[in-house]
Structure 1
Amino acid sequence: METLTESKYSTWYHPYKPAAAYNKKVAYFSMEFGIDQAFNIYSGGLGFLAGSHMRSGFELKQNMIGIGMLWKYGYYDQARNDDQTLRTDFNEKHFDFLEDSGIEVEVQLHDNPHVKVKAYVLKPEIFGTVPMYFLSTDVEGNDHLSRTITNHLYDANEVTRVSQSIVLGIGGAKVVEALGGSEVYHLNEGHGLPAFYYLRDQGVKKNQMVFTTHTPEKAGNEERDARHLNRCGFFGRFLSEQELQKEAVNGGMINYTVSALRMAKKANAVSKLHAKVAKDMWKDYEGTCPIIPITNAQNQNFWQDKTIKRTWERKQEKAYKKRKLEVKQDFFNEVAKQTNKIFDPNVLTFVWARRFAGYKRADLLLHDLQRFERLISNEKYPVQIVWAGKPYPYDFYAIDIFNHLVNYTKQKSNLAVLVGYEINLSRKMKYGSDVWLNTPRITREASGTSGMTAAMNGSVNVSINDGWIPEFQKNGKNCFVLPEVDYRLPHWDQDKMDADNLYDLLENKVIPMYYDAPEKWQEIVFNGMDDVIPDFTSRRMAEQYYKKLFK
């Protein structure tokens, strides 16, 4: 493979001739990318998804580049206090594999018109991605405050958070200009919205701008005071009162999603169900573009164990089971290292692992403690359960759930809570689990992708029928799905009904089948792999983005 040379840094460069079907230049903006454990600047699903997209773009020889942020302290490093509860550590990161691209641009932030933004390049040959440019304000010549903007992913300080959007959006757009411009500008979620305002002023046409909305959650659809954003430099220039009124909604607010939907020629939601939910959410706002579904997916080459893949392709049950025991043991070595508990690879093992957020209900299994205790102490049908995931460092409700689980599981030999849920641990858990639990309140999970990579490795999904699951599920044949409850009911009632349904499903179907009908269980395992590949691989997704969104 040809390598990058100094002279190529500041031009649109790929180490391959783009394939004819993917020749259109696309710049993909995202606040986070989860590409490799060695490059831990992501918080969760959005990053994992974007990282898989960049890998598949490379595999398909797409004419795409990624634009992201170089977070000096990453998201945070998840550790433990003395009593094993959650501790958030902020450690400085050094990534020697990134190189200075030679591109430096300026953005205006608040009253400072000359904040420098430097672009570092991640060459395709490092991790097998399309070329990517990561932006930092930690640059010689910037004042102290400006240098700290790119310290923390999703900084809790409101003004810093707005500045981050400006750096990604306007700084990123200027970097793309320095690379010769793009034919399509794609915002992965609304964080980089200032790019659209800036590009519009530079004469970039509506049909060159596209947008992906990722969540129905209020916190994921940012909304801020229009006048304040104007003072911050959010729009790339100072808007007049009249111009501002045109952009504002909901009594003087800028809703990032609404603005993106108005400026883009087309947008996509991240599952078929999410497209319905999103259309309904934004239907009352005038001038928004069409929203189509392109279901999220993950990169098979990166996430699927090679031996498991081989045994599945050849339908070799014995070889599959042998490999499954090996990867379970590897996973359980991590459990032992963190919790001093010795798990048994022959015991049915459940995993609940993803970002810790209230609506995802990590503690749903503990809803009826009497019933749960009965389930975990059944000697005929033993089970092991492991939880992992990172709450947002200032989401104290989610942190409380995490710590409650830590305290509850301490004295239970077959339950464990792990810290450090990043790419490596995620992979171990997907390889080593028998069942992947997914328990969000219905309609709240736009897509969810952890269950896809779990299924690629033979872990059976037990899930609420939300996000991507309705497109995949054949209940009892490739996964197990809980009966749908009415999402309009009070949370209290939904949680009670879902918990009761979950206990029923586990006690009467899932657990007995694993022990009493292993042939049937193995059939479900292989069916899950058949049905998740290729439909829920990012190869399919990256193809669809070009055909349906970028075209």
Structure 2
Amino acid sequence: MSRFEQFKHSYAYDPKYKTRAAYFSMEFAIDQPFKIYSGGLGFLAGSHMRSAYELNQNLIGIGILWTFGYYDQIRKGNQEMDSLFQEKIYNFLEDTNIKFTIEVDGHPVWVTAKYLAPEVFNTVPMFFLTTNIPENDYLAQCISNNLYDADINAKVAQYILLGQGGAKLLDELEYNAEIYHMNEAHALPAAFHLYNKFGRNLDEVKKHLVFTTHTPEEAGNEKHDIQLLDKMGYFEGVPLAEVRKITGIDGEEFSHSLAALRMSKIANGVSALHGEVSRGMWNKYDDICPIVSITNAQNAPYWKDEVMYEALGKGEDDKLIARKKYLKKKLFETVADQTGKLLDPNALTIVWARRFAAYKRADLITKDKERFERILASTDRPVQIIWAGKPYPMDYGAVSIFNSLVHLAKNYKNLSVLVGYELKLSKKLKQGADIWLNNPRVPREASGTSGMTASMNGAINFSTNDGWIPEFANGENAFVIPRPDLSKPIHEQDAEDMNSLLDMLENEIIPMYYDRPEEWLQMVKNSMNDVLPFFDSSRMASQYYEKVYNY
């Protein structure tokens, strides 16, 4: 009997999903109390683990137990954001009593794993690796301190922990995974562990390894100095000449994604559009695996508002409208608590909330000051805007944009910027939004799943035509900003998008909300109906078996 028996699934596997798979991810957004995620990658992974449980799949999750999480977003005295790194305690995790070593930078590092049982948050069995144990010195303990550590050596050590440590944990558990699924290339050291395990036979590795890429630009895929990776133990003792041979990387810059594409049997992009972009981006390289598309999705049972859907199903429009207004009021209690501003539940409420990154352009709507102020100044057709999101703490440009919006909001009673954008606040914002604004630069957004869960809560998407939107928007369920001329310089594309955004807001969205409420309600209902079932992650989790695991 394998050691995995004491941690096994609580159900009989559906025969369609009997292939044993292990899903490796740097972050999982599973539930509010478990703060080991930063943004969309984690939200996606958490939904996957929930849907895999609901479908009785033979899947487990492998992650890292971040001692300080990502960070707690708080405020300075002047209302600007600050980052609090606070130790997290999770009594709902169980000790596995499994300990083993990995080698990092020529030194043995002890690793243990904590276990998340399925019944805690309705997920498949999950295991979280940590080096924060007494057997390690301070430096080794710090490897699992902070998600996405800014220090390059620490970051590489974290990848070794996830990939090599996760693969070794599976050996210790005697899980005998048939599929090692890398959610992004962070876990690539697992491939070199398998390479050693299978007698340095790359064909055997390829039978077991699959890869999901989320990055739509080659420059955005991580690269590191190959000598540094070798010194740190990233390749688990495989000689550098052999690493170059099996990955096809001859230079000094090691592309993790390119190596993953050459060592996997199959890979996938995370929307139909992203699959096309990825194939165009990578097909110029030899020996890469096929790249298919599996559009990201979110777990509807966790995210959708049941009361709204019940009213929708019964055709009870009055109840649907009343529920939405109630949810807006609940959100506005949080806004009042954080900012001291009392928002109007009858006013059109626009929410921009997601990970703060430059290409997502949080402040695009503010760039034409005259038009922006005209919209905000209207008393007969009031508009309220709420921003929220966590910049990477070391991304000073993104932090600066966040803080500039904080100071801008001080001058207006109908602008608010919230801190603490985690699962709980995310759900509240989606429930309270009339418009879910999403304006990344095309084609930078691989998927952009926040709009899916907004639709599940009666919010209408207002988005650039990127990521999942081309698969969803049909002219009757969302407002879509036309694509700019992508041959133009970036600043001209931004200006074009800004003008289109403000034109649509002034000439289509605001008039419909205030003058044609029946039309608005129909669009809300269309959005709620059209987002399900395709953008529920049960479809996505099924497709991973059909298109990737059983390939």
TM-score, reference length from structure 2:
0.97
**How far off its partner does 1:488 sit?**
3.0
Match of 1:537 in 2: 536
In structure 2, C-alpha distance between the alignment counterparts of 1:103 and 1:233, rounded to whole Å = 22
Which region of structure 1 is more displaced relative to structure 2, 47-56 or 314-323?
314-323
**How far off its partner does 1:11 sit?**
5.5
Q: Residues 347 and 383 of structure 1 are in contact (CA less than 8 Å); yes or no, is this contact kept in structure 2?
A: yes
Match of 2:519 in 1: 520
Match of 1:24 in 2: 19
**How far off its partner does 1:102 sit?**
1.9
- Pick one of 66, 69, 73 that aligns with 1:71: 66
Match of 1:53 in 2: 48
Match of 1:224 in 2: 224
- Pick one of 197, 202, 206 that aligns with 2:197: 202
Match of 2:459 in 1: 459
Match of 1:120 in 2: 114
Match of 2:332 in 1: 332
* Paired residue type of 2:443: T
* Paired residue type of 1:323: R
Match of 2:150 in 1: 156
Match of 1:367 in 2: 367
Q: Residues 235 and 243 of structure 2 are in contact (CA less than 8 Å); yes or no, is this contact kept in structure 1?
A: no
In structure 2, C-alpha distance between the alignment counterparts of 1:125 and 1:484, rounded to whole Å = 45
Any idea what SS the aligned residue of 1:372 has? helix
- Pick one of 111, 132, 146 that aligns with 2:106: 111
Any idea what SS the aligned residue of 1:148 has? helix
In structure 2, C-alpha distance between the alignment counterparts of 1:7 and 1:338, rounded to whole Å = 51
Match of 1:132 in 2: 126
Q: Is 1:190 paired with 2:185?
A: yes
Identical counterparts, % of pairs: 51
In structure 2, C-alpha distance between the alignment counterparts of 1:48 and 1:62, rounded to whole Å = 19
**How far off its partner does 1:144 sit?**
1.0
Any idea what SS the aligned residue of 1:182 has? coil
Any idea what SS the aligned residue of 1:168 has? helix
The C-alpha deviation readout for 1:519-545, integer Å capped at 9, x for no partner, is 100100010111100010101100100
**How far off its partner does 1:386 sit?**
0.1
Instruction: Identify if the C-alpha distance between structure 1 residues 250 and 347 changes in structure 2 by more than 3 Å, giving closer, same or farther.
Output: farther
**How far off its partner does 1:244 sit?**
3.3
**How far off its partner does 1:103 sit?**
1.7
* Paired residue type of 2:164: I
**How far off its partner does 1:141 sit?**
1.2
Match of 1:505 in 2: 504
Any idea what SS the aligned residue of 1:481 has? strand
Any idea what SS the aligned residue of 2:519 has? helix
In structure 1, C-alpha distance between the alignment counterparts of 2:249 and 2:315, rounded to whole Å = 56
**How far off its partner does 1:227 sit?**
1.4
Question: Counterparts in 2 of 1:430-469, with a 5 A limit?
Answer: 430-469=430-469
Match of 2:547 in 1: 548
Q: Is 1:82 paired with 2:77?
A: yes
Q: Is 1:100 paired with 2:95?
A: yes
Q: Residues 27 and 186 of structure 1 are in contact (CA less than 8 Å); yes or no, is this contact kept in structure 2?
A: yes
Any idea what SS the aligned residue of 1:116 has? strand
The C-alpha deviation readout for 1:243-297, integer Å capped at 9, x for no partner, is 4365363722210100000011000000011011111211222110011000000
Q: Residues 360 and 440 of structure 2 are in contact (CA less than 8 Å); yes or no, is this contact kept in structure 1?
A: yes
Q: Residues 10 and 103 of structure 1 are in contact (CA less than 8 Å); yes or no, is this contact kept in structure 2?
A: no
In structure 2, C-alpha distance between the alignment counterparts of 1:64 and 1:314, rounded to whole Å = 36
**How far off its partner does 1:200 sit?**
2.0
The C-alpha deviation readout for 1:383-420, integer Å capped at 9, x for no partner, is 10000000000000000100010000112000000000
Any idea what SS the aligned residue of 1:149 has? helix
Match of 2:249 in 1: 249
In structure 1, C-alpha distance between the alignment counterparts of 2:514 and 2:427, rounded to whole Å = 25
Q: Residues 208 and 265 of structure 2 are in contact (CA less than 8 Å); yes or no, is this contact kept in structure 1?
A: yes
Any idea what SS the aligned residue of 2:365 has? helix
* Paired residue type of 2:441: R
Instruction: Identify if the C-alpha distance between structure 1 residues 62 and 496 changes in structure 2 by more than 3 Å, giving closer, same or farther.
Output: same
Any idea what SS the aligned residue of 1:463 has? strand
Match of 1:279 in 2: 279
Q: Residues 98 and 121 of structure 1 are in contact (CA less than 8 Å); yes or no, is this contact kept in structure 2?
A: yes
In structure 2, C-alpha distance between the alignment counterparts of 1:190 and 1:355, rounded to whole Å = 20
Q: Residues 74 and 84 of structure 2 are in contact (CA less than 8 Å); yes or no, is this contact kept in structure 1?
A: yes
**How far off its partner does 1:381 sit?**
1.1
* Paired residue type of 1:544: Q
The C-alpha deviation readout for 1:217-244, integer Å capped at 9, x for no partner, is 5575110111110110001114143543
Any idea what SS the aligned residue of 1:485 has? coil
Any idea what SS the aligned residue of 1:230 has? helix
In structure 1, C-alpha distance between the alignment counterparts of 2:271 and 2:242, rounded to whole Å = 37
* Paired residue type of 1:452: M
**How far off its partner does 1:486 sit?**
2.0
Question: Counterparts in 2 of 1:275-314, with a 5 A limit?
Answer: 275-314=275-314
- Pick one of 158, 172, 175 that aligns with 2:166: 172
Q: Residues 205 and 264 of structure 2 are in contact (CA less than 8 Å); yes or no, is this contact kept in structure 1?
A: no
Q: Residues 339 and 416 of structure 2 are in contact (CA less than 8 Å); yes or no, is this contact kept in structure 1?
A: yes
In structure 2, C-alpha distance between the alignment counterparts of 1:413 and 1:396, rounded to whole Å = 27
Match of 2:488 in 1: 489
In structure 1, C-alpha distance between the alignment counterparts of 2:374 and 2:430, rounded to whole Å = 26
Structure 2: runs of 5+ lacking an equivalent: 199-203
Any idea what SS the aligned residue of 2:144 has? coil
Q: Residues 191 and 205 of structure 2 are in contact (CA less than 8 Å); yes or no, is this contact kept in structure 1?
A: no
Q: Residues 248 and 255 of structure 1 are in contact (CA less than 8 Å); yes or no, is this contact kept in structure 2?
A: no
* Paired residue type of 1:107: I
Match of 1:3 in 2: none
Any idea what SS the aligned residue of 2:145 has? coil
Instruction: Identify if the C-alpha distance between structure 1 residues 58 and 219 changes in structure 2 by more than 3 Å, giving closer, same or farther.
Output: farther
Any idea what SS the aligned residue of 1:268 has? strand
In structure 2, C-alpha distance between the alignment counterparts of 1:426 and 1:217, rounded to whole Å = 27
The C-alpha deviation readout for 1:35-89, integer Å capped at 9, x for no partner, is 0000011000000000000000000000000000000000000000000001011
In structure 2, C-alpha distance between the alignment counterparts of 1:189 and 1:52, rounded to whole Å = 16
Q: Residues 329 and 345 of structure 1 are in contact (CA less than 8 Å); yes or no, is this contact kept in structure 2?
A: yes
Instruction: Identify if the C-alpha distance between structure 1 residues 343 and 531 changes in structure 2 by more than 3 Å, giving closer, same or farther.
Output: same
In structure 1, C-alpha distance between the alignment counterparts of 2:6 and 2:258, rounded to whole Å = 33
Q: Residues 230 and 240 of structure 2 are in contact (CA less than 8 Å); yes or no, is this contact kept in structure 1?
A: no
In structure 1, C-alpha distance between the alignment counterparts of 2:69 and 2:312, rounded to whole Å = 36
Q: How many residues align?
A: 544
The C-alpha deviation readout for 1:359-385, integer Å capped at 9, x for no partner, is 000000011001100011112211100
In structure 1, C-alpha distance between the alignment counterparts of 2:29 and 2:218, rounded to whole Å = 23
In structure 1, C-alpha distance between the alignment counterparts of 2:240 and 2:456, rounded to whole Å = 53
Any idea what SS the aligned residue of 2:168 has? helix
* Paired residue type of 1:127: F
Instruction: Identify if the C-alpha distance between structure 1 residues 243 and 385 changes in structure 2 by more than 3 Å, giving closer, same or farther.
Output: closer
Q: Residues 166 and 192 of structure 1 are in contact (CA less than 8 Å); yes or no, is this contact kept in structure 2?
A: yes
**How far off its partner does 1:311 sit?**
1.2
